[in-house]
Structure 1
């Protein structure tokens, strides 16, 4: 069940499930994205955590406030306000794509609020030769630019997010399409997301990067810059997988992330 929080100059929608150490889940910027559309299938594997699944400003049930601030920066501050309103001093952050960028921004600016960070093909750090954009971003921006995008355009976008196109079910396409019509963001193309590159070294939290080897939206070739920039980061690459790692490879994702949040993987680096 979705609830809404007052975060000062905006309202932020979220879903809460489970109990234990807090985990804040941050979704991507694709058309029709919501917190639960990105992560609802993963939550049963994390029921021993207090899961806060956010709809970032302008997506899902969270209204888009008027702001000239880069979207990543704006969203990060509102997520931190939501954490405060929920009585959460520190949390693990799990972010996909745009949500990964929001998680990085929080870890840079509010390190005292962050335990561990999991990033699935995060945005916010571009190579020097972009554009041209990868196929997935071209589809995303094209969908955003359409006055009334079609269901077929959504189907093409969803199929590009997964290596196994059988996972691009009609039900999933319908869900994302209907959601995109309710909350179609009015943004410049490409949007002003903001650049996190200069501050990567400020991320002190243990960080796990997860990438689909065949990602056509935020390509694996973009990973080394982030991996080199974050002092305590490691990278896991999943083959036969594109951009939606948490969806396409859910069992492996759940196992890897649980191990990491419990202190595995990067524990030696922390020591």
Structure 2
């Protein structure tokens, strides 16, 4: 079933090998670079489905990378894929394809990776746009549900037997929870692949990231006040996955950051309010560009 899903949804971009990891990515457009980092349970294609990537390509070079284990990227065993580890890998990838000082956009779990990248390489991060992120430690009952899938041996057994079946049963509820109180967009309904998300390899990545969510936030908590780049924070007022008060708390901790809490919007901010997200990115771009912008080169993948 996993192989059939991959044949029906072939990769649309290129591949590069970074630190022994084969990553799938797309690289289109021209102008100031923007790196889009996706969240859990989806892949980089989510930014295409939302329409945000197309909006940004009108003025920017847009790079989207499937995080390790998601989409068509590998997730080698034997490494603890923390947010910091993933950020280090993406930083190496940016260097490999000659991307300098991108604006880094992260959604949900990808926001933790974006913050980790900025903490590790502040001088090489032009700005941050954080969407519906998990920034502070809180009790997460859902973590208990994903931990078994992340465990060696037991996780393998579950992923190749009952986990895909249970996942298919729960997927409608998961989708409603991601978007509520906003409706699920028609394009997401038609383009999101349950079969790709429920491959054993991606279930492993999703489970592992879920189990590492709390440690990721704990590791970052002392660095928020030191971020030197412009930061925009967006959240949905009705977000049932990560409550909007976490975005307000982060805004209070990052000097000079901006905050937009959008009414009638849930966790999938970039789907329900792509124009607002694109506008926030443009404001960060305007704050980071020098008065005379150098000529940009075309990049097509």
So what's the TM-score if we normalise by structure 1?
Answer: 0.84
Match of 1:185 in 2: 203
> CA-to-partner distance for each residue in 1:76-101, whole Å, 9 max, x for gaps?
01100100001112110011011111
Residue in structure 2 matching 1:156, options 165, 170, 173: 173
SS at match of 2:172: helix
Query: How far apart are the structure 2 equivalents of 1:184 and 1:207?
Result: 30
So what's the TM-score if we normalise by structure 2?
Answer: 0.76
Pair 1:216-2:240 in alignment: yes
Query: How far apart are the structure 2 equivalents of 1:210 and 1:160?
Result: 18
SS at match of 2:16: strand
Aligned counterparts, 1:1-271, within 5 A: 1-29=12-40, 31=41, 33-40=42-49, 41-47=51-57, 48-127=59-138, 130-132=139-141, 147-148=163-164, 149-163=166-180, 166-169=183-186, 172=189, 175-182=192-199, 183-186=201-204, 187-188=207-208, 190-193=210-213, 194=216, 195=218, 196-263=220-287
Query: How far apart are the structure 2 equivalents of 1:19 and 1:98?
Result: 27
Moved more, 236-245 or 3-12: 3-12
Asked if 2 retains the 8 angstrom alpha-carbon contact of 1:126 and 1:222, the reply is no
Aligned Cα root-mean-square deviation (Å): 2.7
Task: Give the unaligned 5+ runs of structure 1.
Answer: 265-271
Asked if 2 retains the 8 angstrom alpha-carbon contact of 1:117 and 1:205, the reply is yes
Asked if 1 retains the 8 angstrom alpha-carbon contact of 2:167 and 2:198, the reply is no
Query: How far apart are the structure 2 equivalents of 1:240 and 1:210?
Result: 13
Asked if 2 retains the 8 angstrom alpha-carbon contact of 1:154 and 1:176, the reply is no
Moved more, 140-149 or 116-125: 140-149
SS at match of 2:203: coil
Deviation at 1:235, TM superposition (A): 0.9
Query: How far apart are the structure 2 equivalents of 1:8 and 1:218?
Result: 32
Deviation at 1:11, TM superposition (A): 1.6
Query: How far apart are the structure 1 equivalents of 2:269 and 2:168?
Result: 23
Task: Give the unaligned 5+ runs of structure 2.
Answer: 1-11, 151-157, 289-301
Asked if 2 retains the 8 angstrom alpha-carbon contact of 1:22 and 1:92, the reply is yes
Deviation at 1:68, TM superposition (A): 4.5
Deviation at 1:3, TM superposition (A): 1.0
Cα gap change, 1:190 to 1:162, in 2 (>3 Å): closer
> CA-to-partner distance for each residue in 1:192-230, whole Å, 9 max, x for gaps?
232311222232111000000000111112223322222
Query: How far apart are the structure 2 equivalents of 1:174 and 1:44?
Result: 15
Asked if 1 retains the 8 angstrom alpha-carbon contact of 2:234 and 2:260, the reply is yes
Query: How far apart are the structure 2 equivalents of 1:170 and 1:91?
Result: 28
Asked if 2 retains the 8 angstrom alpha-carbon contact of 1:42 and 1:246, the reply is yes
Cα gap change, 1:188 to 1:255, in 2 (>3 Å): closer
Match of 1:269 in 2: none
Deviation at 1:121, TM superposition (A): 1.5
Query: How far apart are the structure 2 equivalents of 1:117 and 1:184?
Result: 27
